[in-house]
Amino acid sequence: MLNATFEPLTALPLRRAIVLLVCGKAEIVHEDPAGTLLHSATATVEVPSVIRLSRYVRVPYRAQVPLTRAGLMHRDHFRCAYCGGRAETIDHVVPRSRGGGHTWENCVACCAKCNHRKADKMLSELGWRLRTVPREPRGPHWRLLAHAKEADPLWQRYLGAPAA
């Protein structure tokens, strides 16, 4: 969803987007590439990929990107930080039972097998190494991408620089 000024605001569920369109609070900027239509008893609405609000909404500034499961998985590209396999869980590099915090720098995406094998051990005890150093994501659009399971390629023109 874009603000009236075409500034990206958030990724939202299809149901919410349709409600905004039907109520006249938003307009479609790009339709779904599949060309899907939703039908009701009295109307037909194209499924949107990108919508723009009709009125400007002021957004409060937040200095930090909130740590969410979706954001963490997106940051690590849905890959295990230890073996590179498909990530399904989140692991604390320094276990919380040993004083590790729930922060961007201490949390990584992890496959279930590695998470189970690591348990509450330190990496040095297992002889393991991280494939990449976990960092807090930067960029103005991480808040938007942190809530989306996958970013639609159509969104890139509105997001500006890649949020990697």
pLDDT at 163: 43
Token pair 């399971």 in the structure block, residue: 149
Confidence class of residue 24 from pLDDT cuts 50, 70 and 90? very high
Name the token pair of 21.
């369109």
Q: Using one digit for the tens of pLDDT, what is the confidence trace for 113-129?
A: 999 999 999 999 999 99
Domain ranges of the chain: 14-62+149-159, 69-126
| Burial profile 68-78: b = 16 or more Cβ within 10 angstroms, e = fewer | eeebbbbbbee
pLDDT at 70: 85
- Given a cut of 80, whether residue 160 has pLDDT beyond it is no
Question: Torsions phi, psi of 142, nearest 5?
Answer: -65, -30
User: Rounded mean pLDDT of 57-82?
Assistant: 86
